[in-house]
Amino acid sequence: MLLVDDWTDFELIDTGNGEKLERWGEYILRRPDPQVIWPPINKDKRWDQAHAHYHRSKSGGGSWEYFMPLPEKWEISYGDLKFYVKPMGFKHTGLFPEQAVNWRWIIKKIKGCPGPVRVLNLFAYTGGASLAAAYAGADEVCHVDAAKGMVTWAKENLQLSGLADRRVRFIVDDVVKFVQREIRRGRQYEAIIMDPPSYGRGPNGELWKIEDELYNLIDLCLQVLAPEPLFFLINSYTTGLAPTVLRNILTLALKKRYGGTVTADEVGLPIARSGLVLPCGATGRWEADE
């Protein structure tokens, strides 16, 4: 398992009974997590000191309960990267801290590359991977997400991190349609990152279901991959989609064509109180031989 254990502005304090207790900067949040099917052990007293608590509704969705006023948004840092976070609908905060394990890897791969690196980041959300690529010195980063609000948020994170002068294109579009247009335009990228949802819809109602669409999307993306690619990274939060599935897909789609190395693993966060690990999805990586 790939663990993120070097945060200072984020901490997974404790877990139990379907919930996790987290510190985001100076604020403590309680949020549900379907992976937490165990009880709290030596329960941390901060469970009763949370600033806000997200309650799921039996009819779907849920809402935040606030125990004291919180800022509309606040800043946290991971090394030199800075992000705005805030309580959102569906329990989210605008950042997945476990993805720092991939940000570190992206930075290392790009900084160590002697040639040009153009990065395509699909389903790019609020821009964690885009910031990492820009920070590492990518010649160009193309950030694509169907949600206008998330793209705006990513721009704010880029500015907050002092990277506004980097060459980053922000695109609000359906991922598949955008890649199809890039193929027609003849554009190419040395690195592709994607963080596809389990299920979703594009801006015009386009249906996305990961089990049906993931391999086809990867196959489509090969048409915008440069002749000498650097890496291809896939993240998945889909329950039941094992890392081996990502490994198999990348092996079939990329390794047989370009050689290189394929790895896949779970991603997790250490739980400070218990010493256990919270699983947070899977990641698959293809990288060219050095």
C-alpha–C-alpha distance, residues 204 and 185, integer Å: 22
pTM given for the model: 0.94
pLDDT of residue 205 exceeding 80, the answer is: no
What pLDDT, on the 0 to 100 scale, is given for residue 182? 98
Q: Which residue has the tokens 């050095």?
A: 290
Answer yes or no: is pLDDT of 202 > 70. Answer: no
* Closest residue by Cα to residue 254 from 275, 274, 231: 231
How many of the other CB atoms lie within 10 Å of CB of 240?
8
What integer pLDDT is reported at residue 211 of this predicted model? 79
Strand order in the sheet with 10-16: 10-16, 19-24, 27-32, 52-56, 62-66
For residue 177, give the amino acid letter.
Answer: K
Please, is 227 exposed, middle or buried when counting C-beta atoms within 10 Å of its C-beta (0-12, 13-18, 19+)?
exposed
Least confident of 49-63, 121-135, 156-170: 49-63
Q: Residue 62 pairs with which residues in a beta bridge?
A: 56
**What percentage of the chain reaches a pLDDT higher than 90?**
86
Question: Stretch 165-172: mean pLDDT, rounded?
Answer: 97
Measured between its terminal Cα atoms, the distance across the chain in Å is 24
Residue pLDDT, tens place only, 47-89: 999 999 999 987 778 999 999 999 999 999 999 999 999 999 8
